Amino acid sequence: MYLHKIKLSLCAALLVATLGGCKDSDQPDPSRHVSKAESKEMTSFDRWLKENYTDAYNVSYIYTLDDIEADRSRNLAPAKLENSMKLAKIIQHAWYGAYDEATGRLDFMRKASPRQLFIVGSASWNGDGTITLGTAEGGLKVTLYQANWLNVNDPQWLNTTFFQVMHHEFSHILHQNKIWPTTEYDAISEGYAPTSWFNRRSLSDYAPLGFITAYASSQPREDIAEMTACYITYPKSQWDAVMNAAGDEGRAKLNKKMDIIKKYMKGTWGIDMDQLRAIAQRRLEEVVRLPLIESSWQELLGSSLRGMPQTARMLAGYEAARDAVVEELMRHPKFLELQEGEHADHAKCQVITQYFH
């Protein structure tokens, strides 16, 4: 699990964001309910999900904060309906669509993908001031947080917040079905540190050892999952930065690992990693031009403003404070600090992609 330490200097911005979101009335917002209504009538969005997720991939896309699905030890906020809709379209195009195009068939993802995608509006705040951006459980369920901060105009933010987690966890699923060449791969790097990997805070700490991220140095199974996810999601400039920092010895190790991954993915699953990478990055860039809200969904969004701040000034203040928090996280890595988290031998594998490597 990756954890990003949020410094106290962010608290003021968070407080403003919280206060700015207060409502003028006590009327509930039906678009952000905690659990589904008792009515079994499906909305136009539900019907779209059934056709494009359940029927197509045998996957449940859960966008309401049902108690049975949520972690009751956390204070979580439900996802805005509009953002849940947009994220459903984005994941369909940029994640499922990427593998469909790379494999040339739908049945690959229908058989291999997680059975549930659970969407939460807020981040999952921990008691020690850290946040969990995404979790996965047994290869069956992936929970994605921060849907209410969705930024469709920033492909790298989408990668960092959602898709690096998804590709990482999907790698684990593939490896559980058909193991990678463990003897050959696991012997490349000698610096695995299961209990102290989080102390490797900069590129110079882990790249020369042949690791793509600090978390990759925790153990081999996380190493190969990180290598796979980062290769798919990193833009060329970010990948090259790691390679340059690695030096000759570290670069040779990273390239050797990538060669093994490419052979494994092609020989075992019929997937060309270079092709998948190009497809995934192209599809992510296409997101900004997608019609993310179907015309039939507009009626469902008509009532969603009733529970929002009632004045333009309040709304602007809320949005500005929220954006300030995101900007602080993305632009000032000194506020972020890795901390030790659960390890892969725990029943529940929790993964958070890193903002800074």
Each residue of 278-336: pLDDT tens digit? 999 999 999 999 999 999 999 999 755 433 433 444 344 445 555 555 555 565 554 44
What average pLDDT is seen over the chain?
Answer: 79
Which two three-digit tokens encode residue 297? Answer: 């969904």
**Is residue 32 domain-resident?**
no
User: CA 272, 278, 284, 290: dihedral to nearest 10 degrees?
Assistant: -100
pLDDT tens readout for residues 38-59: 456 899 999 999 999 999 999 9
Percent of the chain with pLDDT over 70: 69
pLDDT single digits (tens) 253-278: 999 999 999 999 999 999 999 999 99
End-to-end CA distance of the chain: 15
Q: Which domain does 273 fall in, by range? A: 4-16+41-350
Q: Is residue 33 part of a domain?
A: no
pLDDT at 176: 87
- For residue 27, tell me if it sits in a domain: no
Q: Does residue 271 lie within any of the structural domains? A: yes
Q: What is the pLDDT of residues 110-141, one digit of tens each?
A: 999 999 999 999 888 766 565 676 777 777 88
**Alpha-carbon torsion (147, 156, 173, 94), positive or negative:** positive
Q: Is residue 198 part of a domain?
A: yes
pLDDT digit string, tens, across residues 175-203: 988 999 999 999 999 999 998 898 898 99
Instruction: Give the Cα separation of 258 and 256 in Å (integer).
Output: 5
pLDDT of residue 65: 80
Three-state secondary structure readout of the chain: CCCEECCHHHHHHHHHHHHHCCCCCCCCCHHHCCCCCCCCCCCHHHHHHHHHHHHHHCCEEECCCCCCCCCCCCCCCCCCHHHHHHHHHHHHHHHHHHHHHHHCCCHHHHHHCCCEEEECCCCEECCCCEEECEEEECCCEEEECCHHHCCCCCHHHHHHHHHHHHHHHHHHHHHHHCCCCHHHHHCCCCCCCCCCHHHCCCHHHHHHHCCCCCHHHCCHHHHHHHHHHHHHHCCHHHHHHHHHHHHHHHHHHHHHHHHHHHHHHHHHHCCCHHHHHHHHHHHHHHHHHCCCCCHHHHHHHCCCCCCCCCCHHHHHHHHHHHHHHHHHHHHCHHHCCECCCCCCCCCCEECCCCCCC
What's the structural domain count of the chain? Answer: 1
More confident site: 248 or 197: 248
Confidence band of 34 (pLDDT split at 50, 70, 90) = very low
- In this structure, the chain runs to a length of 357
Give the pLDDT score at 126. 63
Q: For residue 73, what is the domain's CATH number?
A: 3.40.390.70
Please say if the pLDDT value at position 353 is more than 70.
no
**Exposure on the CB side of residue 305, measured as CA atoms within 13 A:** 7
Cα three-residue angle 250-254-260, rounded to 5 degrees: 145
| Pairwise pLDDT comparison (14 vs 122), residue with the higher score | 122
User: Is the entire prediction scored with pTM above 0.85?
Assistant: no
Mean pLDDT of 63-81: 72
Q: Is 28 a domain residue? A: no
- Give the distance, in angstroms, between the CA of residue 38 and the centroid of all CA atoms in the same chain: 30
